[in-house]
Structures are given as C-alpha cells and as structure tokens.
Amino acid sequence: MTTSATTADESPWWQKAVVYQVYPRSFADSDGDGVGDLRGIIDHLDHIARLGVDVIWLSPVYRSPMDDNGYDISDYEDIDPLFGDLATFDELVAGIHARGMRLMMDLVVNHTSDEHPWFVASRSSPLAPQRDWYVWRPPREGFEAGAPGAEPNNWESFFSGPAWELDEASGEYYLHLFSRKQPDLDWENPAVRGAVHAMMRRWLERGVDGFRMDVINLISKVPGLPDGVVHATSASGSPLGDGAPFVTNGPRIHEFLREMNEAVWADRSAPDLPLVTVGEMPGSTVEEARLYTDPARHELDMVFTFEHVGLDQGRTKFDRLPLRVSRLKQVLARWQDGLAEVGWNSLYWGNHDQPRAVSRFGDDAAYRVLSAKLLATVLHLHRGTPYVYQGEELGMPNAGFARIEDYRDIESLNHHREATASGVAPGDVLAALQWIGRDNARTPMPWDDGPQAGFTTGTPWLRLTPGHEQVNAAAAWADPDSVLHHYRHLVALRHHEPAVSHGDFALLAPDDEILWAFTRQLGSTRLLVVANLSGADLDVSAVTDGWRAAEVISTNYAASKGDWSGTTLRPWEAVVLRRTA
C-alpha cells in the first residue's frame, strides 16, 4: 500500500504543525473552586509552548448550563463565569500569540443549549419569529402528544433514548441528536446560517486563528426526516431507529460549508494565512473527507476521521470487540492513501471523547512509558496534522473508576441508567465505562505530586486518575527519558524533517498483528518506521534488510541510538531510521 505526496514547499503552515488540545475544566484551576479556568491555562502556557506545538485547540469556554460540559452553549459571544471573562480570554489570546502559537476555538453549531436566547424565543410560541430556527415537528399522525411512539420519527439520540423532546406548552417536539438540553438548529433557515457566520467573524476579529467544528457534518438533515432502521427500544417501550444515515453528510452540507467560507473569510488560498479549520465528522468515509478537504472546494482544511477509533466497538461504543492491529494500521494507511494527493488528515489517538490511548492501544501496566512513546511515534510519523490531547504527553492511563458515583459524563450516566434498566448487570456496565467512558480522559491534569496533583487547592470537579503521584508534569519534565520529552522530540522532528510532514507513505507487512512498519519518502530522503506492539522481542530483519547502515533518528528506549541491533525490536520498541538515496 503506497501513497504519494506533494512537496513541502509552498504548503500551508498547518500541514507542518502540531495541535495541543486543552479541555479547560480539567487543565488547571486558578481560584480553588475545583474547576479549571482561563487563568489556569494562562499560568501553564509555558508547559504547552515548551512542547513545541503550533496550535492550541480550546474546548468550549462559552456561557453554558454545563449539561454536556460546555458543548451546550447558551451564549456564543461570552465566556462562562466558571472559566473567567472576555478580558481574561483576551489575555489568553495575547499569551498564546506571544509564544508563537495560534488559538483554535471549538465551534458548536449543530445545536445550542435549550437556555440559549434563540431557543427560548423559538419555544415561546409556534408563531414566534424564531420558531423555525430549530427543528420542530408535530406528533406522529394518529398519536397524541406525549404518548409512547408519538415522536415525529423513531430516531435514537446519540446520548440514549428518543431524539425528540415534547414541549408541552405547544404540543410539538423538538429534535435533539444529543442531550434533550441540546436542541438542533435548523440550518435550512438562512437566518440561522447568517447568525452563525456573524458570530464567527467576531471571534476572528478578537484574535482567534481558526475553528474546530463540532459534529459539523450533522448540520444538514435529509428532508422529511424519515424513520431509521429499528435496532433498540426506549424506556417507554417505543422502537428506536438509527437516524445517522439521515443526518450524516446530508444533502446540503457542502453548500453550507462553502457558504461559510465565503461569508466568514474571503481568501484562504495563501500558504501563510493564519486561519485553520478542522471538521469533526463522525461517520465520514475517505472519499467524503477528500471532498471536504480539497483546497479547490473551499470547505475545510482537515477533518477528524472516526473509523480507527470504532474498530474495537460493536453496535454501540460500549460493546467491546477485540482490536486487531492489522485492521488498525490498514485503516490508517487507507486514509493516508485516500488523502495523499488531495485533502489532509488529522492524526489523533485520543481527545475529550475518547479513552486514554495508552490504555486502549498500548500496555498501561508494565510498559506504560514505552507503549505511550511507541503510539506517539507511530502516529506522528504518519502524514497529516497530529493532535496531542492534554495529559497524553505524560502517558496518562484511563481513570477506570469502579463506582458510578464517581462519573460525571452525561453520556456515561445515561448509558448506565438505560443499560441497567434493560437488565444488563451493573458490573458489566461499569466495566464498559472503565474501558471506553469519556471521563477516562477528563480527569484533572496532574501537575505535581502535591495535594490534588497541583490542579486545584479545592476539591476537583472529577476525581484524579490513580497514580498521579508518579505520573505528573513535574516528574515528566525532570526525567529526560519521559513520555513528555519523547513528544518534544517528535514535534521537533516534524518541524525539521520535511519527509515527516510531506513524504510518501507505504505500509509494510499489512497483515502482521504485532509489527507496525512503514516508510516515508520525500525526494532523496527515506524514513523507515518499525514498531513492536507486544511485550516480547520481535525479529524485524525481513523489513530492515538494506537499512543496517541507516541513521537512527528516533527511538523510544533510553539506551543510545547506536545500541539498536538492526534486526530485533525489544518489547514495545519503536525505531525510526533515515537514509539518503
């Protein structure tokens, strides 16, 4: 499997960049209320800058009731007091720019909070001017409002239960693909689109350098909102269907994105333009991503693929399947191939919605440090823009909370309630949450081995990850062989070796379940990446033949680069070789 790539010359800056995601409520608390805030981020900007990254992606800090930790926005143009205020935000922007980095805001416009003034006005009356800013429908024909099965269609919410909520005052239902407190905007209405565009322009005027667009490929729904294939039953006994095919990459999505480009920024063709956009696009294929990121189409710079983080899941994310390494690397290689000539990849193992990478794909026990470094090496040596989620640079494992009382995530709590009500053993539900639940990645950032890991002087909003006394930023900076210093090395390698950012990609040994090997080539420079995803020695002589005299430019073992045998990888060892033809 081989891909070709264009030259690194004249390429947009973000193709050589690395992004660091900050989840504000869990990053650093400056005022002792137990919740991270903007001042806490400002106080720790040097930690991020020292990693060498180029962009900070800031998860939502807008005003919000916090039903979904800020992804339910009640005011797009103000900062929630939990995090600070606009003056502090301006200080954060200035601090980021002063350190040579850029700021990418989270843009959540598929839905708002039900407390947003737009929805309050929409809900006030069926005749309200803003009624059609959201997706309202009467009960299903032949049913009374509120009766089981009366919802306008059978769609299931991504957060469990029906995707419709009854407004008793009007007798109509509103659509919420996520929480009932997150009503979906109706993007068919040009007034909605215009309001969103104006809001985006004002953030750019404030110094923001781009947007990460939350579930942006869900904003165009299929007209008529037809029933989906039934696969579940609600708590009331109503059949629930899969609405995803009717909301994912809908009929007008490309039109909406092109219109956004024209309305928000006029010319995005210059390579040094500071702006960057990335779309979170669950359910998208390589072919669709190629359309979204084709520069000639003026839609998005890059997209998040979800295919690789769904390989170990069944019908729902909580149904665990065995992970085959061969499938994982083949999927990523297919995305490399599909976006080689046109388009661009986002590279990530984890984020605020995914469990910790070292627990999911590595060995978070005996080989936590080595496997965390290996996973970083493999990912950062692919072609695309890598994303580092806070704490990933420390090799943080899953929290693995054993009591439901310790969880705060609405998705996890809803799943626990629904699953136990349907007869699933509580222990089995907790086991699934310990593996895949979103709170695994949302625990507070451990800064040192002191009380509350230096995150807060108060009581943290979510329990700390066990082992924070050893796995923390202070310890990582002090240890030259830490996961953190390996991330610094990989970021620098991407910046200084054009073959990393723009080289051709070729996957080797695609069916091997232990060895991950591939080459990158740009001009006369060729790189070979070999990684052993096991706890035993691995003979790799079949793929390293001809590379014995090559330079070792990266290794995740503490031993000097010259100690690698050239034929055998030690447990969870990853090596990068370079030669010039």
Q: What is the pTM of this model?
A: 0.94
pLDDT at 548: 86
Which pLDDT band holds residue 4 (cuts at 50, 70, 90)?
Answer: very low
209-228 residue pLDDT tens: 999 999 999 999 999 999 99
Share above pLDDT 90 across residues of the chain, in percent, rounded to a whole number: 90
Which pLDDT band holds residue 3 (cuts at 50, 70, 90)?
Answer: very low
Q: Would you say the C-alpha torsion 435, 280, 116, 253 has a positive or negative sign?
A: negative
pLDDT at 231: 83
Q: Does the structure show a pLDDT above 90 at 160?
A: no
The CA distances from residue 428 to 320, 416, 420, 452, in Å, are: 11, 10, 9, 30
Q: Residue 544: left (phi > 0), alpha (psi -120 to 50), or beta?
A: alpha
pLDDT at 234: 76
Helical H segments across 208-342, by residue range: 244-247, 253-264, 286-293, 325-338
Which pLDDT band holds residue 267 (cuts at 50, 70, 90)?
Answer: low
Q: Does the structure show a pLDDT above 60 at 268?
A: no
Share above pLDDT 70 across residues of the chain, in percent, rounded to a whole number: 96
- Residue range 474-494: average pLDDT? 98
Which pLDDT band holds residue 270 (cuts at 50, 70, 90)?
Answer: low
The domains found in the chain, sorted by start residue, are: 16-114+187-223+234-483 (3.20.20.80), 117-175 (3.90.400.10)
- Residue range 105-130: average pLDDT? 97
Which pLDDT band holds residue 545 (cuts at 50, 70, 90)?
Answer: very high
Q: Does the structure show a pLDDT above 70 at 512?
A: yes
- Residue range 370-394: average pLDDT? 98
Catalytic residue numbers, as ranges = 214, 280
Locate 122 and state its tokens. 């929409």
pLDDT at 92: 98
**Three-state secondary-structure class, residue 347:** strand
Of 166-180, 211-225, 228-242, the least confident: 228-242
300-314 residue pLDDT tens: 999 998 999 999 999
Distance of CA 252 to the CA centre of its chain: 24
pLDDT at 345: 92
Interatomic CA distance for residues 299 and 261, integer angstroms: 7
121-144 residue pLDDT tens: 999 999 999 999 999 999 999 999
Nearest to 20 by CA among 60, 62, 69, 58: 58
42-78 residue pLDDT tens: 999 999 999 999 999 999 999 999 999 999 999 999 9
pLDDT at 505: 98
Indicate the average pLDDT of the chain. 94
